[in-house]
Structure 1
Amino acid sequence: MARRKPLTAKQALTELSRPGPHGVRRGDLALVGLPGTLFTPHAGHGLPAVAFGHGWLQPPRRYLGLFRHLASWGVVVAAPATHRGPLASARLFAADLRTALDVVAGVRLGDGVVGVDKGKLAVGGHGAGAGAAVLAAAEDERVRGVFTVAASETRPSAVDAARLCPMPAVHLAAEEDLVSPPVGHAEAIAQSWGGPVQMRTIAGANHLGFAEGRHWSELLLSGRGEARTQTVAKAVITAFLLRQLNGDHTYDSLLYGDVKRAPVTYQRAGRPATARTAG
């Protein structure tokens, strides 16, 4: 098979903005004891998987387009639907994200035709769920990559937990985020990150720009879903997961070059990892 010519960042963005080559299955995590949503490619073994944390007050259904997109590119997605109330616990939500990884990595999915490689696991999330994903990564040596969108600080602190994360990460911030301003949240997490890290700030985006459809929480939180923001986020997240979990360098031009509306605003190759502490 002939090797593909290197893609430009624009070409990679265009390609990864479209659905991938896989058919998609949708399932229910409740069938294995954890309320939530599951998306997988139609079939395949040795697949990568990500556990995704929803934003504060947001139902997982607001991210179904992202889940379906990642599954079409060969990534299994598990999204717990727990801790959706106003007093949600970031610590317990992080534990649920780790449980979601246990589930997808421990059982055959899709009537046995879908299997996850335990060495290809990642976590990600939006807002408070992004902060919980950082907490989960800090305590789980299986995690090989982390992505966040409009990350929020949490209790316990996601900024402190970031120092314990030696795996690569991509943090996407929203330029006009009034809920989790980039400087005090995503940037602080990125600067504290223990491993290789990149932060991109999406121009004109708001906190809820990454969420799909409408929801009553928009009465409390600034912003609303934006198709352009979601398109850029899907492409960058997909490129990151394919490279970090599958070793696919096809889209490196997107990961390491500037992208219109989503320039790199912070980047570091990494530093010696801080020793992890148990639970």
Structure 2
Amino acid sequence: MASKPKALLDELTHPGPHEVLRGDLALAGLPGVVFTPATGRGLPAVAFGHGWLQPPGRYRGLLHHLASWGIVAAAPATQRGPLPSHRLFAADLCTTLDVVTGVRLGPGAISVDRGKLGLAGHSTGGGAAVLAAASGKQRVKAVATVAAAQTIPPATEAARTLAIPGLHLAAEGDLVAPAAGNAEAIAKAWAGPVQLRTLGKSSHLAVTEGRHWSQRLLHGKPRFGTQRLVRALFTAFFLTHLTGTTTYHPLLDSGVRHAAITFDPTAAA
């Protein structure tokens, strides 16, 4: 079995063993998408918040990847205008977790464990994920963000109340949400176990997929190398903290190429 960080990273950049089903959250009254393993009881689930102006479809590969590794992944398609309400977006992320835990998924062979819930997001969706976790509307076990942006109310203030594990990925060349004022600030305010990694050769939109008109307004473009890193690190993080497996600790505890650990108070202690 793979045990070295590089081998674990390579393992998790590939799709997992599960066949994946795609569903529509709108059937439960909330616009958005959900990806699930074809079967499974008591599965972990993650609600993902999209970036500013981005449709959830720009994260299809990431959501599909998480589902292939046994994690139900859902993304609401709300607050997509130029002036989104971060507070309402956070509420929508909580509602998304309500939906996947309370509504029949797939052909009836899928269920989610309310004790295995996580939140994630990109850009404003990352900040909203922090707000959602701090709201207390769901008993979330872990939060992961990529190129997180500040929110109103501030995600940094919400982070001070969170004793759960956090993983924050900053893009080295991000001109929209620079690490120092966003992901780094959130990580350093985090009350619980936390890690900040910097994704090399990455821009604000590196994690997104395909083309979208918003690229005329926002700096950066999709980058496959960044997408692979985010998929692997998110998968390792959520499998570890939502299912209790220790298999991926070596990867989470180590720096890897283009994803150096830049802040980890536990390691520094």
TM-score (norm 2): 0.97
Alignment counterpart, residue 16 of structure 2, candidates 10, 14, 20:
20
Shift of 1:78: 1.1
* Secondary structure of 2:65's aligned partner: helix
| Contact 1:179–1:222 under 8 Å retained in 2 | yes
| Contact 2:28–2:103 under 8 Å retained in 1 | no
Alpha-carbon distance between aligned partners in 2 of 1:34 and 1:268, rounded to the nearest angstrom: 38
* Secondary structure of 1:218's aligned partner: helix
Alpha-carbon distance between aligned partners in 1 of 2:195 and 2:78, rounded to the nearest angstrom: 29
Matched, 1:185 2:182: yes
Shift of 1:28: 0.2
Alignment counterpart, residue 227 of structure 2, candidates 225, 230, 235:
230
Shift of 1:248: 1.1
The letter of the residue matching 2:147 is: A
Alpha-carbon distance between aligned partners in 1 of 2:189 and 2:217, rounded to the nearest angstrom: 30
User: 1:118-169 deviations in whole A, cap 9, x for unaligned?
Assistant: 0000000000000000000001251000000000001010011100111101
Matched, 1:77 2:73: yes
RMSD over aligned Cα atoms:
1.0
| Contact 1:73–1:238 under 8 Å retained in 2 | yes
Match of 2:161 in 1: 164
| Contact 1:9–1:253 under 8 Å retained in 2 | yes
Which range moves more in the overlay, 132-141 or 69-78?
A: 132-141
The letter of the residue matching 1:262 is: A
Runs of 4+ in 1 over 3 A off after TM superposition: none
Alpha-carbon distance between aligned partners in 1 of 2:165 and 2:14, rounded to the nearest angstrom: 25
Match of 1:277 in 2: none
TM-score (norm 1): 0.94
Match of 2:28 in 1: 32
Shift of 1:249: 1.2
Matched, 1:150 2:147: yes
Match of 2:125 in 1: 129
* Secondary structure of 2:181's aligned partner: coil
Alpha-carbon distance between aligned partners in 2 of 1:96 and 1:77, rounded to the nearest angstrom: 14
Alignment counterpart, residue 95 of structure 1, candidates 91, 97, 101:
91
The letter of the residue matching 1:44 is: G
Shift of 1:268: 2.2
The letter of the residue matching 1:85 is: G
User: 1:54-98 deviations in whole A, cap 9, x for unaligned?
Assistant: 000000000000000000000001100000000111000000000
Matched, 1:254 2:251: yes
Q: Unmatched 5+ residue regions in structure 2?
A: none
The letter of the residue matching 2:3 is: L
* Secondary structure of 1:210's aligned partner: coil
* Secondary structure of 1:46's aligned partner: strand
Alpha-carbon distance between aligned partners in 2 of 1:161 and 1:104, rounded to the nearest angstrom: 24
Once the two structures are superposed, the pairs formed by residues 239-250 of structure 1 within 5 Å of their partners are 239-250=236-247
User: 1:160-211 deviations in whole A, cap 9, x for unaligned?
Assistant: 1100111101000000000000011000000000110000001110000000
The letter of the residue matching 2:189 is: S
* Secondary structure of 1:70's aligned partner: helix
Match of 1:105 in 2: 101
Alpha-carbon distance between aligned partners in 1 of 2:160 and 2:266, rounded to the nearest angstrom: 14
Match of 1:196 in 2: 193
Alpha-carbon distance between aligned partners in 2 of 1:108 and 1:64, rounded to the nearest angstrom: 21
Match of 2:215 in 1: 218
Alpha-carbon distance between aligned partners in 2 of 1:64 and 1:219, rounded to the nearest angstrom: 21
* Secondary structure of 1:55's aligned partner: coil
Percent identical pairs in the alignment equals 59
Alpha-carbon distance between aligned partners in 2 of 1:166 and 1:98, rounded to the nearest angstrom: 18
Alpha-carbon distance between aligned partners in 1 of 2:266 and 2:41, rounded to the nearest angstrom: 32
Residues paired across the two proteins, number: 266
Q: Unmatched 5+ residue regions in structure 1?
A: 271-279
Shift of 1:269: 3.6
